[in-house]
Structure 1
Amino acid sequence: MANGVWHRGYNIEVNLSLPDLGHPDRPGLLDEIMTSVAERDPELLECLAHHDGNTCESEAGGKSPWMFVRRGRVGGRRPLVAAHLPVTHKPSAAETDQHKATKERVVATALRHGLEASAEQPVRGTGGRGVADALVTGPDGTRIGWEIQYYPLSPSAVHRRSVKARDNGVMPLWVTKSDRAALIDRAPWARVDDMDWQDIADGREMLIRGGFRHLQTWRCVPSSVRHCLEGSGGHCGSIHADWFLPALCEPPKPPIHIEDLIVTSATGESLAVFVPSRHNPRTGRHMWVPVKDCSTWKDMAGPTRLPKEPSHEPDDDITFSSEELDRSCRAGEEHLAYRSDPRPLRDFGQPTGGLTLPVLPMRPANAGAPVAVTDPERAAMAAALDCKPWELGPCIGCGQFIRRFGRNAPMACRACREAWAGSQAR
């Protein structure tokens, strides 16, 4: 559907189906008309029918002839769509109550555990002024800015607000109830169930369904319950490490409740990390993890850095159809053009792709010289064997690394011990 608006500041008509909006002499016009209504004159953009003196269906219904512009989602295309104020997605009463109840639960939980917390707290810093839905401060001054986002928000808005929060010394923590939310893996996040506000306020169990993971490290051998990350179809003998949801760990980990994350994120027991994709380091996954797992991961993979804010997000693409301007009022039909396609699934709950370290060298029995093992390899093997790095040593039989030192540590691996026992029985 071709559509447009009247720009009252320049007294020009804007055709949203044209790449230059019909005004090649105004290169900044697109950014200007897509500026948030809260940051511009709400009467800047006008319904063309109203400007022409014709019937504006919105005004006739007792509403506003003023408009705003957003990206639509129709049949795989992302056209610009003009819609009458108020915004296309206005939080419903239920969503507003959910938001308020969750915010109050975050603050109440933090205060109950002796932490500083407040709602709608202004935050100032090098990033300018910002406001967090709930700001929780830990004993060491760590500040977690909880952003309760139960209705759609664009990727660019998530990036922009997250960068501002970090510039102000606040770690953002976005909360969503949808596995299709654009904020997932674009900033530190957590997904909860879609619950009635009464249940949230009454303290009903509120589990973190996505956004929190544990590190699992294993040696890729036939006895392992995990598959090979390299897709070999067999067992490569290497050390693998990957991040899993609590229920998918071996053995399964206890579920994480929102109260757990409220406290541990502020005290530093849980940290926000970004794990780059194995194939594209500019993309990856944001997650909250136990501090111990974070330390082990850094020992194996090195320090992780947040990617730069992308200059382009596929979800922010715009499709231009170059059609003639339709000057009739489309109030009541705008939601069909704005977002008729479902948002793509973003929270898959699958492993990240992980990390593979080389096969550890084996020292032949009775060899005098020690085998050179790098620090990441030693950290990975210690994690896989659930022991301390200094407890590692070679089996006196086959030479593979085992938990060799420490209380009740054997001198040989199980396979060698069983082989020797069998030979003595004969």
Structure 2
Amino acid sequence: MANLVWHTKLRIHLDLTLEDLGHEEHEGLWDMVYGMDRMYSARAVPVAERDLQCGGVCREAGVVAPMYLRMRNGRREAVHERREDEDRHSVPVSDEHKAYQERILRAAEAGGFRGDSEVRTRVGRSWIQTDTLIEGADGLRVGWEVQLSTAGADGPRSVRARAAKAEKNGITPAWHTDRSDYAHRHDTHWTRSNNLPAHVIAKIGDLRVVSGFRKLDFWHCDLHADHPCPHGVRRCGKYHATPVPKDVLFDDLVRETAAGAIVPVQFRTPNKTHRFWATRSDHNRYKDLLDDDGQLPAIPEDVRTPSRASHNRPTCRPELTPTSSTAVTPKAPQTPTATFSGLLAAQPTAPTLETIASRAAEQTAPPDPKPHADACPEPWETLVEHRRAANAARDVLYQLSDHEERELQRHVWLEAAQTAQAAITRYASSHGLNRFEVEQSVRGAARDTQA
């Protein structure tokens, strides 16, 4: 059977997976073509003379393969007249492919998870067929696809379309190959091992994954950083993450993905989106880093921040301008008769030693750790709700592809992140707590409640 039919008289392709057969300009096209084929059948017209041929694999191979139409369980089907033409559409499964399937099942069972091969999952009127489906922890389903032959990147039957369809229906796609050119494709989360024969793959030993698993390196973009700034400037002063290749054993990868300890990551750069696997802890830190990147508003151009902290006492007195043309020398502190403009009449001219000491003690005294009455910090539950709202706004941003929608949603995310950060600052300041520790606790509580 095939879904693409070539009509020799009309000279058009008929896609049976579409309601209008791919020609919306012709109403009732299916009824007309199917009715004509049924009339040919009633009059015993040979299939080779019914104007229908295979328009997919057979036509691409230069083979004329006659077909006829039928309805089965409410589904439209085009059937080849000859069995050899039908066999041309099915690719035989190689021994290496079978060895990978067996190894995935064996590794999953060793980790306490169950699975099965060649699983068909019904999705509406269609099906999703998975090479090996693993039932993981907490309802997680990982669909392993072993691709050792050429696979398309675009089209309805491409890797991108199949992976998106599986993910949409609750199956985490995991594609494995032994071809090095797939390491440069980012249509799904690829992993790769070396090209090995079937008997080596099936052995119980170390099968290493050499591509597709990454460790995220988090670093500060300053003059001491080893990586270049991803924003294209010399040094921006922010924190960034850089994926670093790391090997992992194939059996461990199967078990850890089923347990949820290794998760798929979409790493965005200015040019493209990279897809790979990483540990859940690295993934959570990367999401927190994206939150931190948008937690503070942009600094206005007219506001200048100091380059470093100063240990000197603050200077809180007005500018003093002498009225006389004679400069006051610092070596003559005993002449209090000099008058200055801008001083208030009630201001003392020569404070005593006791007054200076008391002022210094007040300035160097530690701040009062007790909360102020006007701070009004939110309760802990409100802090967690603010963080959850920011995380939800960020997740919505990840799912958008339109540029204008992403810009609008990014403003929503920034406002929610700023609200959460301000609430954490007020809470930590009013309770005399370490702000970093409070923020980490709030992030963990928000992730646990969202999960």
Residue number in structure 1 paired with 2:242: 242
Residue number in structure 1 paired with 2:254: 262
Secondary structure of the structure 2 residue equivalent to 1:181: helix
Secondary structure of the structure 2 residue equivalent to 1:122: strand
1:295 equivalent to 2:259? Answer no
Give the counterpart of 1:112 among 106, 110, 113. 110
Matched AA of 1:148: V
Give the counterpart of 1:277 among 261, 269, 275. 269
Structure 2: any 5+ residue segments left out of the alignment?
A: 14-21, 31-46, 68-83, 300-304, 315-365, 368-416, 422-433, 439-451
The range that moved more, 183-192 or 120-129, is 120-129
Residue number in structure 1 paired with 2:167: 166
Name the CA shift for 1:173/1:203 in 2 (closer, same or farther; >3 Å): same
- Name which one, 1 or 2, has greater alpha-carbon Rg: 2
Secondary structure of the structure 1 residue equivalent to 2:289: helix
Name the CA shift for 1:89/1:199 in 2 (closer, same or farther; >3 Å): farther
Contact 1:91-1:151 within 8 A present in 2 as well: no
Name the CA shift for 1:193/1:182 in 2 (closer, same or farther; >3 Å): closer
Contact 2:201-2:207 within 8 A present in 1 as well: yes
Q: In the TM superposition, what are the counterparts of 1:2-81 in structure 2 within 5 Å?
A: 9-13=7-11, 44-45=52-53, 65-66=64-65
Residue number in structure 2 paired with 1:143: 141
CA distance in 2, matches of 1:164, 1:170: 9
CA distance in 2, matches of 1:8, 1:125: 27
CA distance in 1, matches of 2:191, 2:306: 40
The range that moved more, 288-297 or 168-177, is 168-177
Deviation at 1:158, TM superposition (A): 1.4
TM-score (normalised: structure 2): 0.48
Deviation at 1:365, TM superposition (A): 3.7
CA distance in 2, matches of 1:114, 1:107: 11
* CA deviation map 1:377-400 (0-9, x unaligned): xxxxxxxxxxx98369xxxxxxxx
* CA deviation map 1:94-149 (0-9, x unaligned): x7111110111001100111111111122234584212111111121100000111
Contact 1:124-1:168 within 8 A present in 2 as well: no
CA distance in 2, matches of 1:298, 1:175: 26
Matched AA of 1:154: G
Name the CA shift for 1:46/1:296 in 2 (closer, same or farther; >3 Å): closer
CA distance in 2, matches of 1:221, 1:165: 42
Matched AA of 1:259: D
Contact 2:215-2:282 within 8 A present in 1 as well: yes
Residue number in structure 2 paired with 1:123: 121
CA distance in 2, matches of 1:27, 1:180: 41
TM-score (normalised: structure 1): 0.50
Name the CA shift for 1:150/1:219 in 2 (closer, same or farther; >3 Å): same
Deviation at 1:160, TM superposition (A): 2.2
CA distance in 1, matches of 2:226, 2:184: 33
Structure 1: any 5+ residue segments left out of the alignment?
A: 1-6, 16-23, 33-40, 52-56, 59-63, 69-83, 247-254, 304-356, 377-387, 393-426
Secondary structure of the structure 1 residue equivalent to 2:132: strand
Secondary structure of the structure 2 residue equivalent to 1:124: strand
Secondary structure of the structure 1 residue equivalent to 2:181: coil
Contact 1:221-1:236 within 8 A present in 2 as well: yes
1:220 equivalent to 2:251? Answer no
Deviation at 1:222, TM superposition (A): 3.8
Secondary structure of the structure 1 residue equivalent to 2:288: helix
CA distance in 1, matches of 2:171, 2:184: 17
CA distance in 2, matches of 1:238, 1:285: 21
Greater relative contact order structure (CA < 8 Å, 6+ sep): 1
Contact 1:154-1:182 within 8 A present in 2 as well: no
Residue number in structure 1 paired with 2:230: 229
CA distance in 1, matches of 2:260, 2:160: 23
CA distance in 2, matches of 1:46, 1:121: 27
Contact 2:239-2:289 within 8 A present in 1 as well: no
Please identify which structure carries the higher helix content. 2
Q: In the TM superposition, what are the counterparts of 1:76-91 in structure 2 within 5 Å?
A: none
Name the CA shift for 1:237/1:104 in 2 (closer, same or farther; >3 Å): same
Secondary structure of the structure 1 residue equivalent to 2:170: coil
Deviation at 1:364, TM superposition (A): 1.6
Deviation at 1:224, TM superposition (A): 3.1
CA distance in 2, matches of 1:12, 1:202: 55
Matched AA of 1:258: F
CA distance in 1, matches of 2:217, 2:178: 26
